[in-house]
């Protein structure tokens, strides 16, 4: 079998050299492997063409005897082995660059942390194979309306919804999410949820299934009322960020019995009576409300 051509070999060689010199911090998870989507697309095409067609993703590849072929394919096999053991991955796509084909993450069999930036969900393939082991999932500038496309359908895999068994941190900030949906009910062990910098107007009942939640960031949205949590999360939530919304009331926050940190800055809380629920939060240590509050009236809550 012919080796990859010059341009492909250059990519393989440069990345293989980088990972030979720094692979230890990738393999132990102390550093994140960051790849442009186009680079991963090239790599997966090479894997499919030169490795997977014969190895079926398992076992060591029997290489051809020609020296040049052997060198190129050995580097490709090395890259495939490293990617299989990579713990933390970040995929990025430049602004104004439209992805024309799928971004496949099938080589990454050991992922615990995944970050996507400008990767449309329908262009992502292979999430179904790792979602149940992911512990941290970040996606920005990718989602247009809702979470369901990633959480329930696993992007381009279009799979059926199953629980995310290990996911404790979800960051879907800086998207264009308008409303929440039932896909959040799949996040049984989630402790930290960041949905800031979206266009969410109403949380409805969709946060109630999140029984383990300790941090909730809904800052920079369009909320007019505080979110409603279930009984378990109401007793566990420690940090709630609601800054830069359109809140005229915070009724309901008094049920958050373990709340320590609350950010209400840049809302429409103009009357002292609107802050009455704060007096019932006995664990509260930090409240941010500047500037649209009368500081003389609310100084004790600053």
Domain limits, the chain: 1-88, 89-301
Determine the distance from the C-alpha atom of residue 151 to the mean position of all C-alpha atoms in its chain, rounded to a whole number.
10
Does 87 have pLDDT greater than 70? Answer: yes
In CATH, the architecture of 89-301 is Alpha-Beta Horseshoe (3.80)
In this predicted model, which residue has the larger pLDDT, 298 or 155? 155
Query: Residue 4: what pLDDT?
Result: 64
CA distance 2 to 72: 10
Cβ(70)–Cβ(63) under 8 Å? yes
In this predicted model, which residue has the larger pLDDT, 176 or 60? 176
pTM: 0.90
In this predicted model, which residue has the larger pLDDT, 5 or 40? 40
Mean pLDDT of the chain: 90
Q: What is the pLDDT of residues 47-69, one digit of tens each?
A: 999 887 644 544 444 445 554 46
Query: Residue 296: what pLDDT?
Result: 36
CA distance 53 to 50: 7
Say how many Å lie between the first and final Cα of the chain, rounded: 69
CA distance 125 to 30: 25
Mean pLDDT of all residues in 292-302: 44
Q: What is the pLDDT of residues 13-33, one digit of tens each?
A: 999 999 999 999 999 999 999
In this predicted model, which residue has the larger pLDDT, 138 or 74? 138
Side-chain-side CA neighbours of 87 within 13 Å: the count stands at 10
CA distance 198 to 160: 26
- Alpha-carbon distance values, 213 to 205, 233, 246, 278 (Å): 15, 5, 23, 20
Query: Residue 272: what pLDDT?
Result: 78
Does 215 have pLDDT greater than 60? Answer: yes
């Amino acid at each position: 079998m012919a080796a990859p051509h010059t341009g492909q070999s250059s990519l393989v060689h440069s990345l293989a050299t980088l990972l030979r010199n720094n692979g230890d911090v990738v393999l132990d998870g102390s550093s994140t492997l960051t790849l442009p989507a186009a680079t991963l697309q090239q790599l997966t095409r090479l894997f499919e063409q030169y490795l997977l067609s014969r190895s079926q993703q398992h076992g060591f590849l029997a290489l051809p005897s020609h020296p040049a072929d052997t060198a190129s394919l050995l580097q490709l096999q090395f890259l495939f082995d490293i990617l299989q053991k990579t713990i933390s991955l970040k995929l990025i796509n430049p602004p104004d660059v439209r992805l024309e084909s799928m971004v496949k993450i099938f080589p990454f069999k050991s992922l615990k942390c995944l970050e996507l930036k400008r990767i449309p969900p329908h262009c992502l393939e292979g999430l179904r194979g790792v979602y149940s082991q992911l512990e941290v999932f970040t996606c920005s500038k990718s989602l247009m309306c809702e979470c369901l496309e990633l959480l329930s359908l696993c992007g381009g895999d279009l799979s059926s919804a199953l629980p995310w068994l290990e996911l404790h941190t979800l960051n879907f900030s800086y998207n264009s999410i308008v409303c929440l949906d039932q896909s959040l009910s799949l996040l049984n062990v989630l402790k930290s949820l960041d949905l800031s910098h979206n266009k969410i107007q109403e949380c409805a009942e969709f946060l109630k299934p999140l029984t383990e939640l300790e941090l909730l960031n809904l800052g920079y949205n369009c909320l007019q009322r505080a979110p409603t949590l279930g009984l378990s999360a109401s007793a566990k939530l420690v940090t709630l960020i609601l800054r830069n919304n359109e809140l005229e009331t915070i009724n309901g926050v008094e049920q958050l019995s373990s709340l320590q940190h609350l950010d209400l800055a840049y809302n429409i809380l103009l009357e002292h009576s609107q802050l009455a629920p704060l007096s019932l939060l006995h664990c509260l240590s930090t409240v941010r409300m500047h500037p649209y509050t009368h500081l003389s009236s609310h100084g004790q809550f600053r």
